[in-house]
Structure 1
Amino acid sequence: MCRRATREASLTQYTTSISQAAKALSLGRTSIYALINEGRLDTIKIGRRRLIKVESIRDLLEAR
């Protein structure tokens, strides 16, 4: 395996988009935004883009 492929394979995804989170949780985007507003999903904002922290998705699933 080349050096670049090894480096890319070792990257861990820390955030995900609203759409990806909705697919992963089998929810609609409106429900995802409701969970964000309730404080049950943590987000960060980079420019105009809002990303959900993957760890908060895991925490939400473990709490159920």
Structure 2
Amino acid sequence: MPPLRHGSKEPPEEVRFLTAAEVASIMRVSKMTVYRMVHSGVLPAIRVGRSYRVPERAVHDYADELDARLRVLG
């Protein structure tokens, strides 16, 4: 279990990171599209060595935002 934050009574939320291939599979796009989204700032990512990792929550947030936009457009 990770250490508690100062003044917090609950442990911090565990963040799961996905590879570009995993993101591409979830979003049904190519890995190149994922890399473009990372480089343009559409998806946040961290660099681990020569590869990128995207927070799983960011992928789901992006999908939710896209879904909401499509609903508005009807």
Normalising by structure 1, report the TM-score: 0.71
Q: Which aligned segments of 4 or more residues in structure 1 are displaced greater than 4 angstroms?
A: none
What runs of 5+ residues in structure 2 fail to find an aligned partner? Answer: 1-13, 67-74
Deviation at 1:46, TM superposition (A): 2.3
What runs of 5+ residues in structure 1 fail to find an aligned partner? Answer: 1-11
Match of 2:41 in 1: 39
Supply the RMSD in Å over aligned alpha carbons. 1.5
**CA contact 1:40–1:56 (8 Å) conserved in 2:** no
Please say which structure displays the higher CA radius of gyration. 2
- Deviation string 1:12-63 (CA, Å, 9 cap, x unpaired) is 6610101011011000011101111121111112233321111110111011
Instruction: Provide closer, same or farther for how the CA distance between residues 62 and 14 of structure 1 changes in structure 2, counting only shifts above 3 A.
Output: same
Q: How many residue pairs end up in the alignment?
A: 53
Seq. identity, %:
15
* Pairing 1:1-64 to 2, within 5 Å after superposition: 14-64=16-66
> Whose RCO is larger (CA < 8 A, sep 6+)?
1
**CA contact 1:17–1:51 (8 Å) conserved in 2:** yes
